[in-house]
C-alpha cells in the first residue's frame, strides 16, 4: 500500500515536498515513481527512483526543479518540488513496479498506486 501526503496550495515560485509511504517491506528490485494528472489531461510521468541504488530519472518538464529521494529505513519516497509553476498544478500520485516490468515512463507498467494528493500552484 502506498500513501501520499504533503500536497497543498502554494504560490508560484514556492516549494513543496510530497511523501509516499510504503507499507510492508520494499524490495530492492522495485522502482518507485511519481506521476501527475491535471484536469482534463492524461496522467503523466514526473520521475522515478530505483530503490536498489537511489538513481533517479525525471521528465524534462521538471528536470532541475524537482528532486526525488528515499529513506530506506522508513520505506518512504519524497518529491521535493522547487520553483513551482501554475502548470505544475495536478493530483500527484506515487506508484511502484518491479525493476524489470517495462518502461518506467509508462503508467500502465506500475502495479501499485497511491490515492493521490492535490498540488495547486497559484500565479
| Strand spans (E) along the chain | 2-5, 8-11, 16-22, 30-37, 44-50, 56-58, 66-71, 76-81, 90-98, 112-113, 117-122
Mean pLDDT of 26-50: 91
Residue-wise pLDDT tens digits, 6-21: 999 999 999 999 999 9
Confidence category of residue 121, pLDDT binned at 50, 70, 90: very high
Q: What is the C-alpha to C-alpha distance for residues 19 and 80, in angstroms, rounded to an integer?
A: 9
Residue-wise pLDDT tens digits, 105-119: 999 999 999 999 999
Residue-wise pLDDT tens digits, 55-79: 999 999 999 999 999 998 889 999 9
Q: What is the C-alpha to C-alpha distance for residues 84 and 105, in angstroms, rounded to an integer?
A: 22
- With H, G, I as helix, E, B as strand and everything else as coil, classify residue 22: strand
**Which residue has cell 495536478?**
90
Q: What is the C-alpha to C-alpha distance for residues 43 and 73, in angstroms, rounded to an integer?
A: 29
Confidence category of residue 23, pLDDT binned at 50, 70, 90: confident
User: In the chain, pLDDT over 90 holds for what percent of residues?
Assistant: 84
What pLDDT sits at residue 101?
83
The residues that bridge with 75 in the sheet, in sequence order, are none
Close Cβ partners of 59 (under 8 Å, ≥ 6 residues apart): 44, 45, 46, 47, 105
Residue 47 has pLDDT above 90, yes or no: yes
Amino acid at each position: 500500500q502506498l500513501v501520499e501526503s504533503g500536497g497543498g496550495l502554494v504560490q508560484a515560485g514556492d516549494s513543496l515536498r510530497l511523501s509516499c509511504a510504503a507499507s510492508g517491506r520494499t524490495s530492492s528490485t522495485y522502482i518507485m515513481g511519481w506521476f501527475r494528472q491535471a484536469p482534463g489531461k492524461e496522467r503523466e510521468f514526473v520521475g522515478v527512483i530505483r530503490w536498489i541504488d537511489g538513481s533517479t530519472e525525471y521528465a524534462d518538464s521538471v528536470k532541475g526543479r524537482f528532486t526525488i529521494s528515499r529513506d530506506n529505513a522508513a520505506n518512504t519516497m519524497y518529491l521535493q518540488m522547487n520553483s513551482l509553476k501554475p502548470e505544475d498544478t495536478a493530483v500527484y500520485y506515487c506508484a511502484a513496479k518491479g525493476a524489470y516490468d517495462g518502461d518506467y515512463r509508462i503508467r500502465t507498467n506500475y502495479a501499485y498506486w497511491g490515492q493521490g494528493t492535490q498540488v495547486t500552484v497559484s500565479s
